[in-house]
Structure 1
Amino acid sequence: MPFFIDGHNMKGLTAEQIKKIVNNPPDKHGVTHQEILYNEKENKLFCILEAPNKESIEKHHQDIGIKCDFILETSLAKTESLIRTQRFSAIGELSARVAHDLRNPLGIIKNAVELIEISSIYNTDEKLQKRIDMIKNAAERMLRQISDVLDFVRTRPLQLEKNSLSMILESSLKSIIPKSIKITKPYNDVSIMCDSKYLEVVFSNIITNAIQAMENSGEIKVRFIVNKKYVKIEIEDSGPGIPEDKIEQIFDPLFTTKPSGTGLGLVTCKNIVEQHEGNISFRNNPTIFEINLPIK
């Protein structure tokens, strides 16, 4: 697909809003912003775009009410952002292959250890039980990291059906909630058009992060708040929160505050929520992830 450079006024956009435009999915005309340069003093934006043709960019500008100073087609607009995207794509393909190859033997190890644990239920050797727990925990941690990689690099079209959010939440909580964690579930239920498997990934990632932040001891509250067109999902935990200077980075690929994290869990959540035409945000005091999804 060809590349174009255009120039126009900023139309009141802030620098923060401009950053969010880059690498958004293509709009209905097939236009994607690859890079944006802006000059606040002169109130000017210069965009590097990938688009089917010049006409599609003109239609894109008509939709948002912007008059363009110029639109130039160029074959030289291979930006640092695009190169980085291509590198991520190649690394993603390799990671998916390696992760898939590792997942099966790890699953066998985990199942074998569970069988050993069952067969030694009457064995009072504390050292043996401790070693079994160490192997189980290590295998589970590796499986979680592999799942993070696969969830991030594997994309497929949404399979939208009418689903109960309570049912999706229940399914995502299986086997991830320790006894030391108190969880308060929503008193109400909401049915929306969504991909249940993808939303399970969102719930599971955020709640697993909360458990780790609370060091396996604390409380998680989940709420469903219904507006006219949207349902707001709040996931609150009693953990210490995220340092204020790190909040803007938490949805960036490969960013993590955990020594054993992949940095892919939250960016995967963001991608899934945005695929559903929703949004996700975070705030401290108390620690809350907020997800807004259309009810449809």
Structure 2
Amino acid sequence: MHPETLNYLSLSGFLIFILSSATCIFVLFHNPRKATNITWSLVNFFLALWSLGLFLGWRTAEYDTTLFWSRWLNLSAIFIPIFLVHFVLAFLEKTKKEKKLLFLAYFITVLYFSIAVIFPEKFVKSISAKGGFLYYPDAGPLYYFFPVLFAGLTLWGIFELYQAKKTFRGLKRTQVQYLFFAILIGFSGGATTFPLVFNIDLYPFGAIGLVVLDIIFTYTIVRHELLDIKIFISRGVARLATYFFFITVYLSLYILTYNIIEPYHLIFTGLITPLFFIIALESYPFIRNRIQTIPDAILVKSRYDLDKVKAGFSRNMEGIINLEEFFATLDSFFQRIGLYPVSFYIPDNFEEMSETANNYFKWDTDMKKVDDGLRLNKEMHIIQHVMDTPDAVFYDRVDKSIQEELDLLKADCVIPVVFKAELLCLIAISGDKIKPVEYTSIDEALFLLIPNRIIRVLNRLRPYEKLQADYEKSRKLAEEAVMHKQYTQVALQIAHDIRNPAGAMMLLTQQAQKIIDAIEFKGKEDVMEFFEDIIYDAGRITKTADTYLKYAFAAPHDETIIEKKSLDVNKLLKEVIHLFKGKGMAQQINIVPGLQDSLPAITCEPLRLNRAFFNLILNAIQAMPKGGRITVASSGCKFIHKDTGKECIGVKIEIEDTGPGIEEDKLKKIFDPFFTTKPDGSGLGLSIVYDIVIKMHTGIIDVESEIGRGTKFIIYLPASETG
């Protein structure tokens, strides 16, 4: 064995082991949850195992020891290329796209490793003198697949980086370029260890290339912010500087007391020491945050200019008049400074201006209050924490119980807005992203400012929201009162025009039935059957009119008359068509039914839904004073349910008239309360229809209209679960 070759390989192995081990620990400790950190740590872990075998195997002249370490280093190297590929895909955010191919590569790697471990003599069969080395591995039959696997996976990773160079721009492209050349140099150098195994006389000069790989990678971390470790370094420096500050202060106090009151310094120090540590523990966050600004200014490039952002935020908060505008402005602000997505939670009693609420509701990205099952309550650890300490909460600085609640919110930071022991709002910055945010001292300074500005706005908005809530309640009551009066008038007209004649017709038919029953003539049975049909239909009309009268004279909020049923919608449509037959004929309007048989049943409140159909047909009749045609059609259909967002089975109802039509600018407003195109209209009929279809029956209502040809209302209602 030549000493120079021994020293060269041993030294290479030693250097690679130290660098790889340090990189593995450093990168993993920085962020053990991030895919890029995990995979690059694993690359360096197996690289360290490989280099350990290189170092220990080539510093001895014993055959068995060298054979053991030769097998060790080659087995360790099997996993290096697969973790390299996984790292590259994670860094380029392509793991999901290449999931199946990556899984196959893992399967092949693990299978090959398992076979090589079971049959080591088939993998590295022996060692022998070659290429100037006393011992060097000899390939067994299994070993021939190793260079193929190594080359295939390594070239895959290098190819992905090469392609990414063409698409990325700015800092990301610089990072990709450094990674590309680092991996190309490192793994090309590592590949030179293969030829001599197959007795090809090529010296393994490139092992030192792996040292170059770690050096370039470390440079990219520090110089070009790879893996966001600059912030990690900055925090580490700030912590060490803070510890040094407290130690210096303590030692200074100790020396000072020793020199001034030497006879009693031990007693005095015994009092000072516990007091100092209490003060140090309490003031540590404050001191560390102040010191943190120095390394941040040197190492970390901020996403924004703090002074400009503060001024812009204050301007944006001026002139806001309602919660929708407030949350939309906040959402836009956080998006501009790169802290996004963000969610907002406000108390359920916000407009009441009472004490701390029991629950906090989320506002979605459309700036509407939602209840998606995710509520915060005052018993949660995070609510109690921010009430005690109203500062921003960071995932990596709190205990596990709060971390679990942050996971539930999919957030890595929350900013509380607390005013006079009341939580007005909670801002959750999402951590559910490929590249988590690393918060700096600049972010923390901004988070101290934001709540103060928000408190001013919310305290200004709360009286407005109270008035708005009261107005909505009053408006709803007014709508119902006006519509109820209008409905009662129509119902009385029905009683006069339909119920009374129907009752009289029934009595007269019964009298005629008695007279005919006493006379014998041909076809008597057919006549009696006609009479029975007349009596039955008159009874049904009377019963329907009675139901409308009952509903008309009940109080608007009388729930005793409301009941949900699963039924065929055609039954309701037929009843309403019957009610308007007489009125339609009087105005020369032909009501044409087009009802499909065997429709799926729907679960509904029959009286309310009947009222919706009633209003639509009444509107159509009123739109055609000179006569026309109304088509009432029903059919089975599929549509997207408005609550679940999924396709569901249901029924489609179309009510179409041949009236004058509605202008396009007015068409957008017809469901708004108090909007009407009729001189004597209340503007509530279609608003009530909208509430009944959308809010009470989770359906969909749409309208189509063409000037001069008419208007068509289309209603979609979901089928019953058992229907």
Report the CA distance between 1:148 and its aligned residue. 11
What is the rounded CA distance, in whole Å, between the counterparts of 2:634 and 2:358 in structure 1?
A: 44
Q: Which of the numbers 258, 278, 281 marks the counterpart of 2:699?
A: 278
Report the CA distance between 1:213 and its aligned residue. 1.1
Matches within 5 A, 1:18-167: 35-37=323-325, 38-39=328-329, 42=332, 51=348, 53=357, 55-58=359-362, 60=371, 72=424, 76-79=462-465, 81-89=468-476, 91=478, 99=485, 154=557, 156=559, 159-167=563-571
In structure 2, do the counterparts of structure 1 residues 148 and 83 end up closer, same or farther at CA, with 3 Å as the change threshold?
farther
Report the CA distance between 1:50 and its aligned residue. 6.8
Q: Which is worse superposed, 42-51 or 186-195?
A: 42-51
What is the rounded CA distance, in whole Å, between the counterparts of 2:344 and 2:553 in structure 1?
A: 32
Task: Determine what percentage of the aligned residue pairs are the same residue.
Answer: 27
Structure 1 residue aligned with 2:611:
201
Which protein is richer in helix relative to its size?
2
What is the rounded CA distance, in whole Å, between the counterparts of 1:150 and 1:279 in structure 2?
A: 29
Secondary structure of residue in 2 paired with 1:183: strand
Q: Give a deviation string over 1:129-154, Cα, whole Å, max 9, x none.
A: xxxxxxxxxxxxxxxxx999989954
Question: Alignment RMSD, CA only?
Answer: 4.5
Matches within 5 A, 1:112-261: 154=557, 156=559, 159-177=563-581, 178-179=584-585, 180-189=588-597, 190=599, 191-228=601-638, 229-261=649-681
Q: Larger Cα Rg: Structure 1 or Structure 2? A: 2
What is the rounded CA distance, in whole Å, between the counterparts of 2:626 and 2:557 in structure 1?
A: 30
What is the rounded CA distance, in whole Å, between the counterparts of 1:50 and 1:150 in structure 2?
A: 39
State whether residues 630 and 657 of structure 2, in contact with CA within 8 Å, keep that contact through their aligned partners in structure 1: yes
Q: Give a deviation string over 1:224-282, Cα, whole Å, max 9, x none.
A: 23124121211111112111111121111111111121111111111111211112111
Instruction: Using structure 2 for the length normalisation, give the TM-score.
Output: 0.27
Q: Give a deviation string over 1:102-137, Cα, whole Å, max 9, x none.
A: 86xx77x958xx89xx9xxxxxxxxxxxxxxxxxxx
In structure 2, do the counterparts of structure 1 residues 78 and 153 end up closer, same or farther at CA, with 3 Å as the change threshold?
farther
What residue identity is the alignment partner of 2:718? P
What is the rounded CA distance, in whole Å, between the counterparts of 1:252 and 1:56 in structure 2?
A: 30
What is the rounded CA distance, in whole Å, between the counterparts of 1:43 and 1:222 in structure 2?
A: 50
Structure 1 residue aligned with 2:397:
none
What residue identity is the alignment partner of 2:596? N
In structure 2, do the counterparts of structure 1 residues 50 and 265 end up closer, same or farther at CA, with 3 Å as the change threshold?
farther
Any unmatched runs of 5+ in structure 1?
A: 1-33, 119-145
Q: Which is worse superposed, 233-242 or 175-184?
A: 175-184
Secondary structure of residue in 2 paired with 1:291: strand
Report the CA distance between 1:165 and its aligned residue. 1.4
What is the rounded CA distance, in whole Å, between the counterparts of 2:330 and 2:663 in structure 1?
A: 29
What residue identity is the alignment partner of 1:278? G
What residue identity is the alignment partner of 1:287? T
State whether residues 577 and 591 of structure 2, in contact with CA within 8 Å, keep that contact through their aligned partners in structure 1: no
Q: Give a deviation string over 1:196-227, Cα, whole Å, max 9, x none.
A: 11111111100111111122511111222312
What is the rounded CA distance, in whole Å, between the counterparts of 2:670 and 2:683 in structure 1?
A: 8
Structure 1 residue aligned with 2:256:
none
What residue identity is the alignment partner of 1:181? I
Q: Which is worse superposed, 67-76 or 264-273?
A: 67-76
What is the rounded CA distance, in whole Å, between the counterparts of 2:711 and 2:470 in structure 1?
A: 36
State whether residues 570 and 595 of structure 2, in contact with CA within 8 Å, keep that contact through their aligned partners in structure 1: no
Report the CA distance between 1:35 and its aligned residue. 4.8
Secondary structure of residue in 2 paired with 1:288: strand
Secondary structure of residue in 1 paired with 2:661: coil
State whether residues 210 and 239 of structure 1, in contact with CA within 8 Å, keep that contact through their aligned partners in structure 2: yes
What is the rounded CA distance, in whole Å, between the counterparts of 1:77 and 1:236 in structure 2?
A: 45
More relative contact order in 1 or in 2 (CA 8 Å, sep 6+)? 1
Report the CA distance between 1:86 and its aligned residue. 3.6
What is the rounded CA distance, in whole Å, between the counterparts of 1:255 and 1:148 in structure 2?
A: 25
What is the rounded CA distance, in whole Å, between the counterparts of 2:677 and 2:613 in structure 1?
A: 19
State whether residues 572 and 610 of structure 2, in contact with CA within 8 Å, keep that contact through their aligned partners in structure 1: yes
What is the rounded CA distance, in whole Å, between the counterparts of 1:283 and 1:43 in structure 2?
A: 39
Any unmatched runs of 5+ in structure 2?
A: 1-321, 335-341, 350-356, 363-369, 376-408, 418-423, 426-457, 505-548, 639-648
Report the CA distance between 1:81 and its aligned residue. 3.2
What residue identity is the alignment partner of 1:208? L
What residue identity is the alignment partner of 2:348? A
What is the rounded CA distance, in whole Å, between the counterparts of 1:264 and 1:151 in structure 2?
A: 19
Report the CA distance between 1:183 and its aligned residue. 2.1
State whether residues 282 and 290 of structure 1, in contact with CA within 8 Å, keep that contact through their aligned partners in structure 2: yes
What residue identity is the alignment partner of 1:167? K
Secondary structure of residue in 2 paired with 1:277: coil
What is the rounded CA distance, in whole Å, between the counterparts of 2:674 and 2:551 in structure 1?
A: 11
Aligned length: 229
In structure 2, do the counterparts of structure 1 residues 95 and 241 end up closer, same or farther at CA, with 3 Å as the change threshold?
closer
Instruction: Using structure 1 for the length normalisation, give the TM-score.
Output: 0.60
Report the CA distance between 1:77 and its aligned residue. 4.5
Report the CA distance between 1:83 and its aligned residue. 3.8
Secondary structure of residue in 2 paired with 1:222: strand
Secondary structure of residue in 1 paired with 2:662: coil
Report the CA distance between 1:85 and its aligned residue. 1.2
Q: Which is worse superposed, 240-249 or 62-71?
A: 62-71
What is the rounded CA distance, in whole Å, between the counterparts of 2:410 and 2:552 in structure 1?
A: 39
Report the CA distance between 1:84 and its aligned residue. 2.3
Which protein is richer in strand relative to its size?
1
What is the rounded CA distance, in whole Å, between the counterparts of 1:257 and 1:50 in structure 2?
A: 40
Structure 1 residue aligned with 2:117:
none
